[in-house]
Chain A
Amino acid sequence: MTTQPLDRTPSPSKPSISWKQWALPLSVGLIVVFCLAPALWQLLTSFKTNEAIAAIPTVYFPSEFTLEHYQELFERRPFFNYMLNSFVVATLSTVLALGLGSPAAYALARLRLQGESILVGAILVVTLFPPILLFLGLLNVVQALNLGNNYLSLILPYAAINLPLTILVMRSFFQQLPRDLEDSAKVDGYSTVGLLLNIVLPLTLPALATTGILAFITAWNEFIFALTFITAEPMKTIPVAASQLGGASIFEVPFGPIAAATVLGTLPLVLLVLFFQRQIIRGLTSGAVKG
Chain B
Amino acid sequence: MTSNSAPARPPVTHKIDVIVQRDRQIGWMLTIPALLLLIAVFAYPIGLAVWQSFITKNLGTELQPQFSGIQNYIRMAQDGRFWQSLWNSVVFTTLSIIIEFLLGLGIALVLNQAFRGRNIVRTIAILPWALPTALIALAWTWIFNDQFGVVNDLLLRLRIIDSGINWLGNPTLAMVAVIIADVWKTTPFISILLLAGLQSIPDDLYEAHRIDGANAWQSFWQITLPLLLPQVVIALVFRFAQAFGIFDLIAVMTGGGPGGATEMVSLYIYSTVMRYLDFGYGSALVVVTFLLLVLAVAIAAYLLSRVRGSAQATDAR
Contacts and interface: CB of A to CB of B under 8 A. Distances in A.
Do A and B touch each other in the complex, judged by CB within 8 A? Answer: yes
Interface of A: 1-4, 6, 9-10, 16, 24-25, 27-28, 31-32, 34-36, 38-39, 41-42, 45, 56-58, 96, 100-101, 103-104, 106-114, 116-117, 119-121, 123-134, 136-138, 140-141, 156-157, 159-161, 163-165, 167-169, 171-173, 175-176, 179, 183, 192-193, 204, 206-207, 209-210, 213-214, 217, 220-221, 223, 238-239, 242-243, 253, 258, 261-262, 265-266, 269-270, 273-274, 277-278, 280-281, 284, 288, 291
Contacts of B315: 2
Interface-centre pick from A10, A165, A253 (highest chain B CB count, 10 A): A165
Pairs of residues from A and B, 4 with the lowest C-beta to C-beta distance, nearest first: A137-B45, A130-B245, A111-B27, A117-B3
B138 A253 contact: yes
Contact of A104 (B4, B34, B184): B34
B99 interface: no
Contacts of A183: 12
A31 B34 contact: no
A38 B140 contact: yes
A27 to B, nearest CB: 5
B111 interface: yes
17 contacts: A2-B314, A4-B218, A9-B215, A28-B110, A103-B30, A109-B6, A110-B23, A137-B47, A137-B48, A168-B2, A172-B197, A175-B230, A176-B200, A242-B135, A266-B130, A273-B122, A273-B123
Nearest to B265: A130
A9 B218 contact: yes
Given A124-B237, A133-B49, A111 B23 contact: yes
B68 interface: no
Contact of B130 (A28, A103, A273): A273
A189 B150 CA distance: 63
A133 to B, nearest CB: 5
B45 A134 contact: yes
Given A2-B222, A35-B127, A221 B199 contact: no
A160 B41 contact: yes
B311 A129 contact: no
Contact of B132 (A107, A165, A262, A284): A262
B45 A207 contact: no
Size class of the B contact interface (CB-based, 8 Å): 35 or more
Nearest to A120: B3
Given A16-B216, A138-B41, A175-B230, A217 B130 contact: yes
Contacts of B134: 223, 239, 243
Interface of B: 1-6, 9, 12, 20, 22-24, 26-28, 30-31, 33-35, 37-38, 40-42, 44-49, 106-107, 110-111, 113, 115, 119-136, 138-140, 143, 147-150, 153, 184, 188-189, 192-193, 195-197, 199-200, 202-203, 215-218, 221-222, 225-227, 230-231, 234, 237-238, 240-241, 244-245, 247-248, 266, 269-270, 273-274, 282, 286, 290, 293-294, 297, 311, 314-316
A210 B23 CA distance: 28
B147 A124 contact: no
B128 A192 contact: no
Contacts of A113: 24, 27-28, 31
Contacts of B49: 133, 136-137
Contacts of A45: 139
A2 B124 contact: no
Given A107-B26, A126-B46, A207-B196, 15 more contacts: A39-B131, A41-B139, A100-B34, A120-B1, A128-B297, A130-B266, A131-B245, A132-B266, A132-B270, A134-B42, A165-B234, A169-B234, A172-B197, A173-B197, A204-B200
Interface-centre pick from A130, A132, A134, A223 (highest chain B CB count, 10 A): A130
Contact of B35 (A104, A176, A261, A280): A104
A101 B5 CA distance: 19
Contacts of B139: 38, 41-42, 45
Contact of B23 (A10, A112, A204, A261): A112
A124 B315 CA distance: 25
